[in-house]
């Protein structure tokens, strides 16, 4: 998977210099515990920018629980399915685009650690219906800037929950430590704490 991520990041850099992707459409998924998309594929590439909540994604050898700060690339033709977490409904902005280069044949997950991609995705979504030629050109430039930011984005995010909880446990070894106590310390429900800690720590 690291090879795929490196390929994607190199490709994004090439886009900026040679052939920037052409933005086609921007849309939004509003939070709903029942939201789901059964197996499907597109004839265009798609970026999913997760604003908040959690969703399960599966397709082409990829399966993960994804949340705020994650950015997913679905290359054209890759079959995938998605569903929102029932107790933490997902909100996303999706951007479809065309590109003149071959992309990886699997889903790629990148991290928007500084929140810049989320900001640009919101901007693109808000102005998506603009008809003025200058505004449309501005949107394409903003799309290119978004891809430039992704070209330096890490593939995995370091979740601080592991170090925070381990440090707290070491300082409180004499306490009666249960899953509920740890979840409360992390400010999460028992279910979310267990899922997030397992995902981060393995």
Instruction: List pLDDT tens digits, range 66-81.
Output: 998 899 999 889 999 9
Exposure string over 116-154, b if 16+ CB within 10 A, otherwise e: ebbebbebbbeeeeeeeeeeeeebeeebbbbbbbbbebe
pLDDT (0 to 100) of residue 198: 75
Q: What percent of the chain has pLDDT over 90?
A: 34
pLDDT (0 to 100) of residue 62: 87
- What is the Rg, in whole angstroms, of the alpha carbon atoms belonging to the chain? 19
Question: How sure is the predictor about 16, in pLDDT bands with cuts at 50, 70 and 90?
Answer: very low
Q: Does the pTM exceed 0.75?
A: no
Q: What percent of the chain has pLDDT over 70?
A: 83
Characterise 62 by phi-psi region: left (phi > 0), alpha (psi -120 to 50), beta (else): beta
Supply the mean pLDDT for the chain.
82
Segment 172-183, tens digit of pLDDT:
888 888 888 888
Mean pLDDT of 85-106: 84
pLDDT (0 to 100) of residue 3: 47
pLDDT (0 to 100) of residue 109: 87
Characterise 60 by phi-psi region: left (phi > 0), alpha (psi -120 to 50), beta (else): left
Mean pLDDT of 116-120: 93
Mean pLDDT of 77-91: 94
How far is CA 4 from each of CA 9, 58, 146, rounded to the nearest angstrom?
Answer: 9, 16, 19
């Amino acid at each position: 998977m690291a090879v795929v991520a490196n390929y994607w990041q190199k490709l994004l850099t090439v886009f900026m210099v040679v052939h920037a992707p052409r933005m086609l459409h921007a849309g939004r998924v509003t939070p709903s515990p029942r939201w789901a998309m059964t197996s499907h594929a597109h004839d265009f590439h798609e970026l999913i920018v997760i604003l908040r909540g959690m969703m399960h994604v599966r397709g082409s050898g990829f399966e993960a629980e994804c949340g705020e700060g994650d950015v997913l690339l679905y290359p054209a033709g890759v079959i995938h399915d998605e569903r929102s977490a029932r107790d933490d409904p997902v909100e996303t902005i999706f951007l479809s685009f065309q590109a003149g280069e071959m992309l990886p044949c699997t889903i790629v997950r990148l991290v928007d650690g500084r929140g810049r991609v989320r900001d640009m995705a919101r901007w693109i979504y808000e102005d998506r219906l603009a008809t003025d030629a200058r505004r449309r050109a501005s949107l394409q430039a903003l799309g290119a800037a978004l891809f430039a930011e992704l070209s330096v984005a890490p593939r995995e995010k370091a979740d601080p929950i592991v170090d925070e909880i381990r440090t707290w446990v070491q300082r409180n070894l004499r306490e009666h430590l249960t899953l509920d106590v740890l979840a409360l310390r992390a400010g999460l429900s028992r279910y979310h704490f267990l899922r997030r800690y397992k995902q981060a720590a393995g």
